[in-house]
Amino acid sequence: MTDSNETAQVESADELYDITIIGGGPVGLFGAFYAGLRQLKTKIIDSLPELGGQLNALYPEKYIFDMPGFPKILARDLANQMIEQGTRFSPAICLDEKVLQLVTEEDGTFTLTTNIATHRTKTVVIATGAGAFSPTKLANESLDTFEGNGVYYFVKDKAKFQDKHLLIIGGGDSALDWAMNLEEVAGSVTLIHRRDVFRAHEESVDWLLNRSQVNVRLWNELKEVRGEGRLEVATILHSKTKEEETLPVDAVLLNLGFKADIGPLREWGLELHGSKKVVVNHLMETSIEGVYAAGDIAHYDGKLDLIATGVGEICLAVNRVKIRIDPKAKLFPGHSSNLSL
């Protein structure tokens, strides 16, 4: 992918594109596919070294259950299929590039400046998800000692947990999803949560409490982990009784959420909702004419942060781009099943 990325940069650095999509995750990829359907000259810019967004970067071996058409699919497999679909019409692809600045030119086009190059485009669609992300960590020195060697915030390879005594910390969707994904891989799974109320889908909570083999310990927090050369035990503390218990563990997986940062987007003059979202109207238009947003980065009343929602939003954005560039074009080109692909 590196070679093709470099080629794309050399060939397209001074070219004017119809649409540049910032973000190579599932929403951006589907936008590139749809832009190809509408015969728009398309470019994707992403700050990560590979396409696929969080599906590849954070949880490639986690199952996705809420993507239409797939009752159950690994995130990496979904990413691979969306990459195949998104690159069908050969968009220019620029990876490992972080967009730093957006400038509106006198002719209404835009110049995007990254840490590597500049890019010219008639329109921009922001599909960066929640932005740059880093895991929320516990302030615990004992965890720092084993980070990456027994203590994890991401799961890139489920085989690392094969037959391990695994301790999962958290009470949200990620914690429960990983408990579900790793129950049959690990030798044992214990999940601790500092409360008795979960922030997860009702079905996942029902599975955890009533149908799983996971050892669930409520009102517990991690006190420390220890080991000689490798992780061996964890001490947990009951927040009500103050009783401590030592558990044999080979691995600890912390699912405490992520801190998102939209970075330079704040300086582009866009209307923001709070500090993490870009305000759009019902046509996915931002406060800057010719700039659109879709997916988790976009905000409007009633917004749901789902892949399924985002791919619909970016279709709206791409169709508006088509009309902006070619006012004589149809807003809705028809269903893809009616087209010769």
User: How far from chain centre, in Å, is Cα 193?
Assistant: 24
As a whole number of angstroms, the distance between CA 75 and CA 178 comes to: 12
In the predicted structure, residue 8 carries a pLDDT above the cut 70? no
Which residues face 6 on adjacent strands? none
| DSSP letter assigned to residue 208 | I
pLDDT of residue 341: 62
As a whole number of angstroms, the distance between CA 334 and CA 90 comes to: 22
pLDDT digits (tens, 9 = 90+) for 183-215: 999 999 999 999 999 998 899 999 999 999 999
Residues 6+ apart with CB under 8 A from 76: 52, 55, 56, 60, 61
Which two structure tokens, joined as six digits, stand for 305?
């942060």
Mean pLDDT (whole number) for 98-119:
96
All structural domains of the chain, each given as residue ranges with its CATH number in brackets, are 2-133+258-338 (3.50.50.60), 137-254 (3.50.50.60)
In the predicted structure, residue 138 carries a pLDDT above the cut 60? yes
User: Is the CA virtual torsion 252, 128, 81, 176 positive or negative?
Assistant: positive
Which two structure tokens, joined as six digits, stand for 119?
């890019």
Burial degree of 175 (CB within 10 A; 0-12, 13-18, 19+): buried
Mean pLDDT (whole number) for 244-262:
91
In the predicted structure, residue 5 carries a pLDDT above the cut 70? no
User: Is the CA virtual torsion 282, 286, 288, 291 positive or negative?
Assistant: negative
Mean pLDDT (whole number) for 3-13:
44
CB 262 within 8 A of CB 297: yes
Give the largest Cα separation in the chain, rounded.
Answer: 72
As a whole number of angstroms, the distance between CA 341 and CA 325 comes to: 23
In the predicted structure, residue 6 carries a pLDDT above the cut 70? no
Instruction: Count CB neighbours of 245 within 10 A.
Output: 13
Mean pLDDT (whole number) for 10-28:
85
Which two structure tokens, joined as six digits, stand for 182?
């790793």
Residues 6+ apart with CB under 8 A from 282: 300
pLDDT of residue 4: 40
Which two structure tokens, joined as six digits, stand for 185?
């891989």
In the predicted structure, residue 308 carries a pLDDT above the cut 60? yes
As a whole number of angstroms, the distance between CA 148 and CA 32 comes to: 35
For the chain, what percent of residues have pLDDT higher than 90?
77
pLDDT digits (tens, 9 = 90+) for 271-296: 999 888 999 999 999 999 999 999 99
As a whole number of angstroms, the distance between CA 281 and CA 286 comes to: 7
| pTM for the full predicted model | 0.76
pLDDT band at 337 (very low <50, low <70, confident <90, very high): low
φ, ψ of residue 31 in degrees (nearest 5): -60, -40
